[in-house]
Amino acid sequence: MKILNRKLLTLPEQIVEQIKESIVSGKLKKGDKLPSEQELADLFQVSRPTIRDAIKLLTASKLIVSRPGAKGGHFITDISPESFIYEFKNYISLSLVLKGFSIEELIDYRIVMETQTCGLAAIRRTEEDLKKLKNLLPDPTENLSDYEYFERDFEFHRAIATATHNSLIFVTMESIMDVLKPMFRLLSSTDEFKVQLARELQEIYEVIEYGDQRLAEKKMASHLEHFKQDFYLIGHKGLTI
């Protein structure tokens, strides 16, 4: 097997890409054991150190797991939701730090995605989902710190993503939430803000309970636009990731 001449990719990276393609095509499946390092070196016509570097990249990407012993080796892993969340969260955080995109763009993306998520939750939610959502509704009279109040809001939004019963939506939302959540440790809010937040979440819960997809989308879009305005008003520019 010859290495493909791909621009800007090192030899180990090219090997990784070809192994990824084998996974996507179904030639390699979860639990399959990779050939030995020498066999891989012969297959790709490269040195063993090059193969070891490729193995390190595959391990860092959580595509393979290495096991010691006579029956050990390098095995294709099962890609878990947790690993996807970890990788996507890191990508978002690094992109914000390196100015790949802005916090404004991230919030816009959240609005677009979560609006549709809320509509889907309205038609797919179960009684158990409704019970969890109701228990998470914040009460402005509770003796909670500002951060605890925001945390309750985030948990409510996570529960809406869960109510879609779509794992891709959940892991994407979880990644976004994990990035945004630390920013709120430095924020403060007024009693008026808490009352408004509680009222909006109550209205969202009610339309999800009723099963009205379009109204759920409308309520969520309005809520997130308020969040966006309040976030800028409170002062996100001094926050760090």
Among candidate residues 52, 76, 100, the one where a domain is terminated: 76
Half-sphere exposure in the Cβ direction for 13 (13 Å, CA): 6
* Contact present, 137 and 202 (Cβ < 8 Å): yes
Q: Are residues 145 and 216 in the same domain?
A: yes
CATH, residue 117: 1.20.120.530
Cβ-contact 138, 198 below 8 angstroms: yes
Are 95 and 176 within one domain?
A: yes
**Tokens of residue 87, six digits:** 């990788």
**240, pLDDT greater than 50:** no
* Nearest C-alpha neighbor of 217 from the set 117, 134, 129: 117
Residue 240 lies inside a defined structural domain of this protein: no
Tracing tokens 């809001």 back to the chain, one arrives at 153
Is 192 within a domain?
yes
Whether 34 maps to a domain, the answer reads: yes
Is pLDDT above 70 for 221?
yes
| Confidence band for 241, pLDDT divided at 50, 70 and 90 | very low
Please indicate, yes or no, if residue 205 is contained in any of the structural domains. yes
Residue 234 binned pLDDT confidence (cut-offs 50, 70, 90) = low
Same domain, 59 and 177: no
Structural domain span for residue 20:
11-76
